[in-house]
Amino acid sequence: MQFISTQVQGGKGIRPFSINKMQRDRIYQRILRLLNYQKWDESLHFAPLYEHLVMVGKAWLEPRYLFDAAAEYLATHRIAIPKYTVLQKLISRVIQQVKKALNNKLRIHVSSELHGFLNTIIDDKDGLSLSQLRAGAKSVMVTELKKELTVYHQLQPYTRQIDNAVKGLALSSKNQQHFGEMVDYYGSKLKRFKRPQQHLWLLCFLTQRIRQSLERLADGFIHHIRKQQEAAHAFAQQAVFDSWRSAADNVTKAAELLHLFVDDSIDDNQPFATVRQQALSVMNNQDIETLCLYLKKQKRTVEEYQWQYYDDQNGLIEQLLRPVFLCLECQALRNPLMILIKIINLR
C-alpha cells in the first residue's frame, strides 16, 4: 500500500499502520477478483489436484517436480496457491499413494527366489554385496574387468526375473532412473527403509547396473581386442624381418645340411630318423623351414606370426576375452544378419 500510494498515485505516502485479519482477507479477495483468480478451497480443489498429481507421480515421483506440477495446475485453473504446508501435505499423500500401488505390484511380480536374492544383497550376506555393486570397474585394466565380470556372472542368473519384475511395475523411464539413484544416494543407509522400498529401489538400480556392466565389458573387450591386434601386427612385422635376416645368416649352414646326403660315413641302411637328428643338430626345424623359404625367395606371411602371437596370449584370451565375449548381447539389422549368425556360431 505504501508503494501504491507513492509510486502509482504520486502522493506523499501514508503513515505506518497495521491491518487486522478481516481487512487483509478483503484486500486479498479484491486482488483475486481483479486477476480473475479463485481462492484455494480445500473442499473443492483438493481432490482434483490430488488426482492430477497422482498421474504426474506415475511419470516422475520427485517431490520438487510434483511441487512445480501443482503450481502449474493451479495457475492454469486460476486458483491461488495455498500455504506451503497444504502443498506439503498434499504431495506427501500423493507419494504415499503411488508407492502403495507400486508395493502391491511388487508382491505380484517379484518371485520368492528374486525376493531372497534382493535380501541377500541388502543384508550383505554371503555372495554379492551392495558395495560391490556400487563400485564397478574404474578402468579397462584386466584386473578391473575381471571384477566386473565376477559381478555380472552373479547377476546373470536373475537378469530375466529382474527385467520381468520392472516391466510388471510399468515404471516410466524417469521414475526408474529416480528410484535407481536412491541406492547410490543412501548407500549403506538403505537398510533403514522398509523392505518394499528397498526392493523397489534395488530392482531399478540393478536394471541400470546390468546395462552398465555390459557396456563396461563391451568397452573393455573392444579395447583389448584392438590392443592385441596392434601388438600382433607389430610382433609379426618384426618377426618377418628377423626370420628373413636369420635365414640369410644361416645360408652357410645349408652346405652342412646338403653334405649329409653325400656323407660316406652315413650308412645307406641307417634309419632316416637318425639322419634327421643330425640335420636338426645343425639347425632347428623352424630355421630349416625359414631357410628353405629364403632359398626359394619366399617369406613367412605376416598372418602366420600374428597367429603365433595370439597363441602366446592364450591366458588372456581364455581367462578374460572369451568369458567377456560370451556375456555380450549381439543384435543386427537386416544387412549384417550373416555376421550375427557367424558370431552366434563362434559361441
Summarize pLDDT for 174-186 with one digit per residue, the tens: 999 999 999 999 9
Range 103-141 burial, b when 16+ CB lie within 10 A, else e: eeebeebbeeebbebbeebbeeeeebbbeebeeebeebe
pLDDT value, residue 1: 64
How does the average pLDDT of the chain come out, rounded?
84
Mean pLDDT lowest for which of 104-118, 263-277, 307-321? 263-277
CA distance 279 to 259: 10
Mean pLDDT lowest for which of 75-89, 102-116, 305-319? 305-319
Summarize pLDDT for 89-108 with one digit per residue, the tens: 999 999 999 999 999 999 99
DSSP labels, 64-113: HHHHHHHHHHHHHTTB----HHHHHHHHHHHHHHHHHHHHHHHHHHS-HH
pLDDT value, residue 258: 66
CA distance 256 to 260: 7
Average pLDDT over every residue of 289-295? 66
pLDDT value, residue 333: 55
Summarize pLDDT for 128-152 with one digit per residue, the tens: 888 889 888 888 899 999 999 999 9
Q: Which three cell numbers stand for residue 245?
A: 635376416
Range 164-173 burial, b when 16+ CB lie within 10 A, else e: ebbeebebee
Residue 257 has pLDDT above 90, yes or no: no
Q: Which residues contact 31 (CB under 8 A, 6 or more apart)?
A: none
Residue 282 has pLDDT above 60, yes or no: yes
Summarize pLDDT for 22-34 with one digit per residue, the tens: 877 787 788 778 7
Q: What is the pTM of this model?
A: 0.74
pLDDT value, residue 23: 74
Would you give the DSSP letter of residue 194?
A: -
